[in-house]
Amino acid sequence: MIKKLDNEINKYLNKNPKIKEAQKTTQIQKIIPEKLQKGIDEIIIKNTTIIIKTKSPSWRQEIEFFKKEIIKKIDKKFRNYRIEKITIL
């Protein structure tokens, strides 16, 4: 019996939610400008909030300037995923 690969991958992802979260995180990392990625330690997604942990207070301030731009890019690329807030630590 031959099974469709797409269906099997979706079943596997649904059984393992940590993999799904990791996929979202890597996709959002690609949206953030490269010059800002140097100062980011970790990105965590919780419901409609993105938590960005930075390396220093100066990076925190720099990323603060780009919050609106990041939200717009996420809304444009991922229409079904709604981000309401970005918290920078």
- Amino acid found at 7: N
Burial of 33 (0-12, 13-18, 19+ CB in 10 A): exposed
- Kindly indicate whether the domain formed by 5-88 is annotated with CATH number 3.30.300: yes
Percent of the chain residues past pLDDT 70, beyond the cut? 97
**What does the pLDDT average to over 81-89?**
85
Task: Select the more confidently predicted residue: 53 or 5.
Answer: 53
Is residue 75 a contact partner of residue 40, using CB atoms and an 8 Å limit? Answer: no
At residue 38, what is the residue type?
K
Instruction: Tell me the average pLDDT across 61-82.
Output: 85
Task: State the pLDDT confidence band at 3, using cuts at 50, 70 and 90.
Answer: low
What's the average model confidence in pLDDT over 5-29? 77
> Is-above-0.85 flag for pTM?
no
- CA 37 vs. chain centroid, Å, equals 12
